[in-house]
Amino acid sequence: MNKILIIEDNLSIANTLQEIISEEIKDHTVEIAENGMEGFKNIEKTDYQLIICDLKMPKMSGSEVLSKSMEIKPESNFIMISGHADVEVAVNCLKNGAYDFIEKPIEFNRLITAVKNALNRNQLHSENKNLKSENSQLRKKISKKYVMVGNSEALAGIQDIIGKVASSDARVLITGPNGAGKELVAHAIHEKSDRNTGPLVEVNCAAIPSELIESELFGHIKGSFTGAIKNKQGKFELADKGTLFLDEIGDMSLMAQAKVLRALQEKRIAPVGGDKEIAIDVRVIAATNKDMKSEIAAGRFREDLYHRLSVIEISVPSLAERKSDIPILVEYFINNISNEQGMQKKEFSPQAIAALQDFPWPGNIRELRNVVERLLILGNNPISADDVEKFVKK
């Protein structure tokens, strides 16, 4: 049963409050404590959904009860009441964690409204806590797909930058060859940021036809073009309060680039075919495998958009630049692939690892994973250098 505690040294007032609240608020028992000391002892041993506390009492004042309760149970829900208060006292109570402050003589309609609002707030807080816990578990499952594996100096440098930039809202441009792990960096930044309870929405700019990219990013209004049979939210709107990851940004059309630039400048978007603008709160992370300065010089990418996107630039090294990570990556992929596919684990001989480290890896980490999977299926146990020579295409 949910419980409400009234701490009031005037028993006449306490009994009246108990009677009114019990009548108006169902499914809650209402208890009384006759002084601050008794009330605090009750709070120590019982979790109350709401505490209504007088300010001036013997043995322990309401202010003391409030501050001590917040130390041991910071989520306590307090409504303070007093006939000897001024604005400064009320403000101090609210600053110290009280939900509301009501002056005596108490207007009972005002009190009941405050009680209902406080209990609703408590319920919402509990629901949000449960949702955050569920989201945390979900993020742990998702994050397993986006693990940055290795202990090379190059990778340590990237992780150091991620740690510094994640807590800000600075836009980040991630550069590097295909398959090197740019997506992992974007996910790591989002997971370590204050936006990690919000969505991470990904857009592969190279995979979307140029005539559809604006609709994909900004949404569209029904009937705005052939095939627009209903209203559609764009990725910017879907990523509100979270992160938008624009992968392969170098392949975006110049017209779409102009609209993205405007969205970043004004923090507002307009769906295709619509005249009503929508405010957005989005952190943008972009990635590309292209030399952006060459793209700018060739007139294929806007210089002003480049500078907007590259407040922080992170260059992800190729696997050829971090070959010392190959033994750790191989072990990680063995466990990962075996668990995912129910496949027998196999050992890699030191000679097989050395052979893998001699390979140029044009496809980077993505290619290494495919090679490990191929060797687990086709190779001997333990996997030898001959297996690598036979099954790794050069």
pLDDT at residue 176 in the model: 96
Q: Which residues contact 136 (CB under 8 A, 6 or more apart)?
A: none
**Structural domains in the chain?**
2-126 (3.40.50.2300), 147-317 (3.40.50.300), 320-391 (1.10.8.60)
Structure tokens at 391: 């099954």
What pTM was estimated for this model as a whole? 0.64
DSSP state of 25: S
> Residue 373 and residue 358: Cα distance in Å, rounded?
18
> Residue 344 and residue 147: Cα distance in Å, rounded?
22
In the beta sheet, which residues pair with residue 119?
Answer: none
pLDDT at residue 31 in the model: 95
> Residue 133 and residue 138: Cα distance in Å, rounded?
9
> Residue 184 and residue 182: Cα distance in Å, rounded?
5
Q: What is the mean pLDDT of each run of 10 residues along the chain (394 residues)?
A: 91 93 90 94 93 91 92 90 77 85 88 88 63 50 66 91 93 96 94 92 91 90 85 93 96 93 93 89 96 96 96 95 94 91 90 94 94 93 93 78
HSE-up of residue 238 (Cα within 13 Å, Cβ side): 16
pLDDT at residue 127 in the model: 56
pLDDT at residue 274 in the model: 86
Q: Which residues contact 291 (CB under 8 A, 6 or more apart)?
A: none
- Do residues 337 and 343 make contact, with C-beta atoms less than 8 angstroms apart? yes
pLDDT at residue 97 in the model: 86
